[in-house]
Structure 1
Amino acid sequence: MAPSSLLTAVTASLCLFSALTIDDIQKQATINANKVLEGTLSDGLTRGANCNKNTVSIRKEYGDLTKDERLEYIRAVKCIRSKPSKLPAGKYPGAKTRYDDFVVVHMNMTPSVHSTANFMHWHRYYIWAYETALKTECDFKGSQPYWNWGKYSDLPTSPIFNGDEWSMGGNGENVKHSGGMMGIPPGEGGGCVTKGPFGNLTVSLGPLMSTMDPALGIKANSQRDGYGNNQRCLRRDVNNHYMASSLKPTNLASHITSNTAIGTFQTTLQNDTPQMSAIHSSGHFSIWGDPGGDVYVSPGEPTFWLHHGQLDRHWWMWQNYLEASLKARTSMYEGGTNWLNPYSAKGKVTDKQWLSVVAPTGQDGLPSNQLFSTIAGPFCYVYQ
């Protein structure tokens, strides 16, 4: 091929990728994931016969669930919050429920699973463990839903946060307050959540690294490590600040199509720039509040799981949408092993990931290379 012809082909290819919408990416990822399930496309991994097109679970966006499906999910979350903790008695005084066990595990693991090679892989494992607990301990009949960041221009009125009986509860009460770290502006909430299925909810662990206005007077934990029993209300400050910037569908599509390696994909997903807030933190800070705006105890916010379900979907789309690079992207692994130590050892695909008491039976300490694909290892799900 002549140089000019090659340049034209490359330019056309780049234009095609830049023109892809997030819906295009989702559709192509689904097609390719189905090819892998059918055996007509290889991702380089070995999967058992128990995961196929007839058995694969389909995760849906919360607003796309029927009202009955939303009620079933809400029931299961309330159920897991009502069961007793399985952690050693007295070791974590604030852990009263089975739900609190998941918060404690995240607090313990935070330095090794944020801004490290383990970020995407461990959180995929963690979300799956939560979904599994809902199913095995609370007879949940559905699949873990996600929150499509780019879907709602007005987040407080979305099906997730509008405060009706099918939502995940409303915004916090309108309390005058200032913004938080990293330039987060104050929204219309800031106070306790009082409406919807998770209105008047009590949280007990943390705060440990709060990003809310100190003038709100959020009660400090009695223990420096945040594990004390610190009973207080769930607060939210659901806002639209990031809906028109970092969480726009065009920005999400651009992030997927402009990163070819897992290292840059993860880094740009997590690290703010002077021009743009990071996608990961933008999702958290669109809910904000206490404990939602605290990196250590954020799973105490019931919508954490919808946000990180979407984070996993974002990675899943990146892994699957390009047939030619699907095999390579599925097994990419890059980064250190401790967020607080820039000189920490590099992660290895054989490094074991830990979930402690929230791991499904016999599934703790799985190596990272068992967590590469949503349809291999212990997983069997795709996104719709």
Structure 2
Amino acid sequence: MLGPAVLITALVAGASAGRTKRQYAPDEVDNLAKASLPKLQEWLAKNPQGGCTLENAIRRKEWGDLTKVQRKEYIDAVLCLQSKPPLTAHQAPGAKSRFDDYVVVHVQQTHRNHGSPYWNWGRYANDPENSILFNGDEFSLSGNGIEEPHAPVILGPTFTGLNRIPIGTGGGCVTKGPFANLSVNLGPLAPQLTDLKPNPQADGLGYNPRCLRRDINRHASAVTTSNYTHALITKNDNMHWFQTVLEGQFDKGEWGVHSGGHYTISGDPAGDFYISPGDPAFWLHHAQIDRVWWLWQLQKLELRLKDLAKTMTMSNTPPSRNGTLDDLNNLGVLAGDVETRELMSTMGGMGGKLCYIYE
């Protein structure tokens, strides 16, 4: 059930009101977004969403379209979360901050839900390490990890044709930028790196402090260029295929932009399917996932605001029923139980608590 998953993830991503001048030329996905807004306006005219309108909706912006002041405000907000005491320590002894609370909820919901500013992958796909996201200056999300020997990522037999990713240029601790001193406290559960100390608890929620590590990888980012994203949105007519192509058809050796974004960051915890929200860059990646889903919905709003696919368990293991709009999504200490139908629209969802679009 991709829809709720990407919205849940993006709910906690930062969002900035007001407008700023674009610092990058719009790509084909940006142009599609601009062309699609009249469809949303027409739908809102026929289906009022309480007080949520295009005029008062929060506008989520791409990292490169934020001013340096706005980027610093977002970074400071994340650092603030990392300084506050956790609410989940009673169920996750390894949680040491409010930031860790989000990781805990992600771990607990991973098997059910997987199949702001945002990070428009296509802008930086050719050279992510030197982009304003990862160049390591004070307005970035910190830089690459220090270069150190490490093995290629081995994805396993499920990922036929993609079972080995060439190494990037890092692999070690992040030493530059705002998150250079970040402590990763939870996990690992499904690590890429082979030299990590195991978590003291089988569920990965025990205390296991270590440095943030990255291996920024242009081999992975090569499949997140704008043409991949545009084709994903425009050439998949139902939720099943949209989600399948987004995730990747690994049995055919075909990447998806979702996996491409994760492996662009790689390392620890970004390379761990369960603990990946422990890297601050995760949130911008998944806000882009939410944006892409939102753009896909806008092409046929009446149908796609109700379009679900797949079952209640990851990869349908163990086999389970299909998801429905009535299902509850437990967001734990973040928001409690929320019906899937309340997460399907960014305009008026969650009883009016959601009211945002993407620029």
Question: What band does the TM-score fall into relative to the shorter chain?
Answer: 0.7 to 0.9
Match of 1:353 in 2: 329
Match of 1:207 in 2: 188
Match of 1:318 in 2: 296
Equivalent position SS for 1:151: helix
Deviations 1:46-86 (A, max 9, x none): 6212x123321000011110000000000100001111011
Residue 8 (structure 2) pairs with residue 31 (structure 1): no
| Comparing 253-262 and 176-185, the one that deviates more | 176-185
Please list, as runs of the form range in 1=range in 2, the aligned pairs for 1:98-109 lying within 5 A after superposition: 98-109=98-109
Candidates 343, 348, 355, aligned match of 1:380: 355
Match of 1:12 in 2: none
State the AA in 2 paired with 1:309. Answer: A
**Cα distance in structure 1, aligned partners of 2:271 and 2:49:** 37
Q: What TM-score, normalized by structure 1, do the two folds share?
A: 0.80
Match of 2:307 in 1: 332
Please list, as runs of the form range in 1=range in 2, the aligned pairs for 1:214-363 lying within 5 A after superposition: 214=194, 217-244=195-222, 246-273=223-250, 274-320=252-298, 322=299, 325-339=300-314, 341=317, 343-359=319-335
State the AA in 2 paired with 1:349. Answer: L
Match of 1:195 in 2: 176
Residue 340 (structure 2) pairs with residue 368 (structure 1): yes
Match of 1:179 in 2: 152
Kindly indicate whether the alpha-carbon contact (under 8 Å) linking 1:30 and 1:382 is maintained by their aligned counterparts in 2: no
**Cα distance in structure 2, aligned partners of 1:348 and 1:356:** 20
Kindly indicate whether the alpha-carbon contact (under 8 Å) linking 1:156 and 1:171 is maintained by their aligned counterparts in 2: yes
Deviations 1:221-240 (A, max 9, x none): 11121111101000001111
1:172 and 1:88, CA in 2 relative to 1: closer, same or farther beyond 3 A?
A: closer
Please list, as runs of the form range in 1=range in 2, the aligned pairs for 1:28-107 lying within 5 A after superposition: 28-37=35-44, 39=45, 42=47, 47-49=49-51, 51-89=52-90, 91-107=91-107
State the number of aligned residues.
Answer: 319
**Cα distance in structure 1, aligned partners of 2:33 and 2:121:** 14
Deviation of 1:88 (Å): 4.8
Deviation of 1:24 (Å): 2.7
Match of 1:13 in 2: none
**Cα distance in structure 1, aligned partners of 2:345 and 2:129:** 33
Structure 2: gaps spanning 5 or more residues: 1-26, 155-162
Kindly indicate whether the alpha-carbon contact (under 8 Å) linking 1:336 and 1:342 is maintained by their aligned counterparts in 2: no
**Cα distance in structure 1, aligned partners of 2:87 and 2:201:** 21
Match of 2:15 in 1: none
Deviation of 1:271 (Å): 3.0
Q: Stretches of 4+ moved more than 6 A in 1?
A: none
Equivalent position SS for 1:236: coil
**Cα distance in structure 1, aligned partners of 2:28 and 2:244:** 22
Deviations 1:166-215 (A, max 9, x none): 00101100112121123221100100001000112111100000022x2x
**Cα distance in structure 1, aligned partners of 2:174 and 2:255:** 26
Candidates 138, 142, 154, aligned match of 2:127: 154
Deviation of 1:275 (Å): 3.8
**Cα distance in structure 2, aligned partners of 1:35 and 1:66:** 31
Equivalent position SS for 1:220: coil
Structure 1: gaps spanning 5 or more residues: 1-19, 116-143
Alignment root-mean-square deviation, CA = 1.6
Kindly indicate whether the alpha-carbon contact (under 8 Å) linking 2:186 and 2:208 is maintained by their aligned counterparts in 1: yes
State the AA in 1 paired with 2:170. Answer: G
Please list, as runs of the form range in 1=range in 2, the aligned pairs for 1:109-120 lying within 5 A after superposition: 109-115=109-115
Equivalent position SS for 1:243: helix
Kindly indicate whether the alpha-carbon contact (under 8 Å) linking 1:94 and 1:205 is maintained by their aligned counterparts in 2: yes
**Cα distance in structure 2, aligned partners of 1:30 and 1:368:** 24
Deviations 1:143-179 (A, max 9, x none): x100001111210111110000000101100112121
Deviation of 1:326 (Å): 1.9
Deviation of 1:36 (Å): 3.6
Q: What TM-score, normalized by structure 2, do the two folds share?
A: 0.85
State the AA in 2 paired with 1:159. Answer: I
Deviation of 1:266 (Å): 0.9
Structure with higher Rg: it is: 1
Deviation of 1:300 (Å): 0.4
Kindly indicate whether the alpha-carbon contact (under 8 Å) linking 1:165 and 1:196 is maintained by their aligned counterparts in 2: yes
**Cα distance in structure 1, aligned partners of 2:42 and 2:143:** 40
State the AA in 1 paired with 2:277. Answer: P
